[in-house]
Homo-oligomer: A and B are copies of this chain.
Amino acid sequence: MGRLGGRLLVAAVGKIKENHWQAAQTDYVKRLGYYTDFQLVEVKDAVGRNVPEAVARQREGEQLLQAVGDTNRMIALSPEGRPLSSPQLADFLQKEVVAFGRLAFLIGGPFGFSDELLTASHLQLSLSPLTFPHEMARIILLEQLYRACTILNNEKYHK
């Protein structure tokens, strides 16, 4: 099994509550570890009864920026981002790893990203024009990163 090289980090807002999403996450994080230096970081969501949405976004954005640390390249996932097919994502991933080495993919919370975070991000990708619950967006991203690794290794395509 070939390794992708580089380092991939997924920084996401909030803990996953449902057991089934947690189990899916554990599965894909484990699988990604076979292919690349992979890390998932969960930052605390700032959602609260007396917290305005803009303040929650702001606080979560600051935490996400802290979580990505010295990453060279920040890619925010958003329904408004650039849409890619799975083979295109694999190609994108390989080129980005060659060019930048350390990549971070960012998944926002229920209220999305702050303007500061979007400005700091190098690009935005879209998983779908559909809006997903943020837990599901996270699992989809993990699965697609895993799938990209299998595509780059010319392994049997997992449908």
Contact = CB atoms under 8 A, between A and B. Distances in A.
A133 interface: yes
Contacts of A27: 18, 20
A128 B131 contact: no
A42 interface: no
A27 to B, nearest CB: 7
Interface size class of A (residues with CB under 8 A): 20 to 34
Nearest to A89: B130
- Number of chain copies forming the complex: 2
Interface string A134-147: 10100110011001
A129 B84 CA distance: 6
Interface string A119-134: 0000000011111111
Kindly list the 10 A-B residue pairs having the minimum CB-CB distance in the complex, ordered from nearest: A128-B128, A20-B23, A110-B159, A20-B20, A86-B131, A20-B24, A85-B129, A86-B130, A83-B129, A130-B144
Given A19-B20, A23-B23, A128-B129, 8 more contacts: A18-B27, A21-B24, A83-B128, A84-B130, A85-B131, A86-B130, A130-B140, A133-B143
